[in-house]
Amino acid sequence: MQTETLHWIDWTIIAVYIGLIAYLGKRFAEKGKSTDGYFVGSRSIPAWAIGMSVLATLISSVTFLAYPGQGFSGNWILLVQGLAVPVTLLTFIWVIVPLYRQFIGLSAYEYFEKRFGFFARLYSSLGFLMMHFTKMGTVFYLLALALASMTGQNTYLIVLLVGIVTILYTWAGGIEGVIWMDVIQGLILIAGGIVSCVLLLAKAPQGPAALLQTAWENGKMSMGPFSWDFTRLTFWVMFINGVFYAVQKYGTDQTIVQRFLVAKTDRKAIKAALMGTLLCVPVWTLFIFIGTLLWAFYRTAPGLLPAGIAGDQVFPYFIMTQIPAGLTGLIVAALFSAAMSTLDSDLNCLAAVGIEDFYRRFRPNAADQDCLRLGKMIILVCGLVSVGIACLYVRWGGEAILGTLFGLYAVFSGGIAGIFLLAFFTVRTNRKGLNTGIAACILFTAYAVLTSTKFDLGGPQKQLIVDLGKFNFPHHPYMVGVYSHIVLFVVGYLASFFFKSERDIRELTFYGWRDQHRSARPASGTDSRSGMFSSE
């Protein structure tokens, strides 16, 4: 058994990792001399590297720590959302990639303005900004909390140091630097997870088979309950949530849409999106499996886990007490990778949205170098604000942080997936109808959040913000986001029948893509899967 401190070998490995990140940041700084190079990498990055970047962007310290925490404390129900993503993605990725690459320059929300007007762009881009500020603070917090428990260092100091390193290399390298560092970080992340899993199985007191049998017999690998009861966290609540998560993430989230744009061709962009998603599923499974193995390991080896250590704390404790020196350093480096690979993408994309959706929107003739300088300034400011949010998490505590993050996704999504579905898959919906749908969505979300969120007044029980008795929002908080998308879609579509459409927008929809796809097929000789995609 190891001591609960890092060995000098571990510190050396971590230092080498940080040094490599700093070197790459400096190297790619030379390539970001224009906004095009800084935000889309001159559209020449290989598909496999973009796919690894998608993986690294979606896998953060939330996955590395909170998924094992959930696997230890509960079962595999949170994995259901991840399993729904590739199923959903395969139905529309063939359409959205070529349409986005045809109709937008940099920002995903530019498409919404072309389809529905400026308010749709403003609403969706502000939703992205609010959500990712919150998410970045969570990622910083989870990383710092784990590292503080491992090293004994001050949590605030760790937040500050990790923040500075991430901000500086993202500021210097641009999107090309971010993607290539994501490749390295993704590989380190996967290696750390595999090493942890193998060691857990190898250290099982009664052998790996007994460990797995113990977990299986106690329902730790179940994805249930499977009832249609939406008031509880069930399989179907998570699956439906996962479907809308996939639509929102791949249809409206700048961190993913921007990856579509950096590839050389449509086909390579599609390959990258599919590769990143299909890699995510086994990685999500790996880390929740680690939590299950941790539960079985400490159950079959009583006395090894001190009282008071549970949930998100168990995996860091195992790393520090059961893993040999050197391998511990690798896993800690993987933890760094999980956090930084998400944070760097968020920072670059926040800057892209700031420039494209706001600065250039109001100053269309701004010089490219002015935009580049402002983009770098946005990265610095956003990074520092996120560090501040993480410090607030430290001050207030972070219980059930994974559940909180899913809840925040539900609230701040605010029907954005509904906007996407209306934009792509309906022709009749118009600007005034959509704005009516947005208003209905805001009212519904406010009602659902206020009547389902409890806070502590210092009494024996937590109190609802607004208590309407039997009229309170009755379902699980994860369903707030799902219903907000549905409300916006239904109201927006029906309201459009009361307003006259201002212009023909068919070419901006799935139906326009289908028309172009059919007309191009006989001439080009492409098959039904390639359609209008650029050749490799």
Rounded to two decimals, the pTM is: 0.86
Assigned domain for 487 exists: no
Closest CA to 197 of 185, 183, 210, 211: 211
Contact between residue 401 and residue 67 where contact means Cβ atoms under 8 Å apart: no
For residue 534, the model assigns a pLDDT of 41
Q: Please, what sign has the CA dihedral across residues 442, 448, 449, 451?
A: positive
Contact between residue 461 and residue 136 where contact means Cβ atoms under 8 Å apart: no
Helices (H), 253-367: 254-262, 266-300, 314-322, 327-353, 360-362
Number of domains in the chain: 1
Assigned domain for 147 exists: yes
Assigned domain for 283 exists: yes
Token couple for 179: 């993607």
For residue 531, the model assigns a pLDDT of 41
Residue 72, domain CATH: 1.20.1730.10
Whole-angstrom distance, CA of residue 290 vs CA of residue 313: 13
Q: How far is CA 419 from CA 397, 463, 488, 506, 508, in A?
A: 35, 33, 7, 16, 13
Closest CA to 68 of 401, 479, 325, 410: 401
N- to C-terminal Cα separation, the chain: 53
Assigned domain for 245 exists: yes
**Neighbouring residues of 233: CB distance < 8 A, sequence distance ≥ 6:** 77, 476, 478
For residue 244, the model assigns a pLDDT of 92
Whole-angstrom distance, CA of residue 513 vs CA of residue 501: 20
For residue 275, the model assigns a pLDDT of 93
For the chain, state the CA radius of gyration.
23
Contact between residue 249 and residue 25 where contact means Cβ atoms under 8 Å apart: no
**Neighbouring residues of 292: CB distance < 8 A, sequence distance ≥ 6:** 71, 72, 76, 215, 220, 221
- b/e map of 447-456 (b: 16 or more CB within 10 Å)? bbbebbbeee
Whole-angstrom distance, CA of residue 262 vs CA of residue 17: 26
Axis crossing angle, helix 155-202 with helix 118-151, rounded to the nearest 10? 70
Could you tell me the residue range of the domain that residue 272 belongs to? 8-397
88: Cα within 13 Å, side-chain hemisphere: 21
Whole-angstrom distance, CA of residue 100 vs CA of residue 121: 14
Contact between residue 57 and residue 339 where contact means Cβ atoms under 8 Å apart: no
For residue 461, the model assigns a pLDDT of 62
Q: How far is CA 450 from CA 16, 126, 130, 238, 466, in A?
A: 48, 21, 18, 22, 5
Contact between residue 210 and residue 448 where contact means Cβ atoms under 8 Å apart: no
Question: At 463, which helix (H) or strand (E)?
Answer: strand 463-464
Assigned domain for 419 exists: no
Instruction: Decide: helix, strand or coil at residue 460.
Output: coil
Characterize the bridge pairing of strands 454-455 and 463-464: antiparallel
For residue 525, the model assigns a pLDDT of 45
Assigned domain for 121 exists: yes
Assigned domain for 208 exists: yes
Contact between residue 407 and residue 400 where contact means Cβ atoms under 8 Å apart: no
**Neighbouring residues of 176: CB distance < 8 A, sequence distance ≥ 6:** 28, 31, 32, 37, 41, 42, 45, 262
Assigned domain for 512 exists: no
The pLDDT averaged over each successive group of 10 residues in the chain (536 residues) is 68 85 70 75 84 87 82 92 89 90 90 93 88 79 80 82 85 84 87 91 85 89 92 93 91 91 91 91 93 91 83 87 87 85 88 91 87 92 86 67 53 81 93 94 88 64 78 90 94 94 84 83 46 38
- Per the omega criterion (within 30 degrees of 0), is the bond before 225 cis? yes
CB atoms within 10 A of CB 219: 11
Hey, which residues does 464 pair with through a beta bridge?
A: 454
What type of residue sits at position 34? S
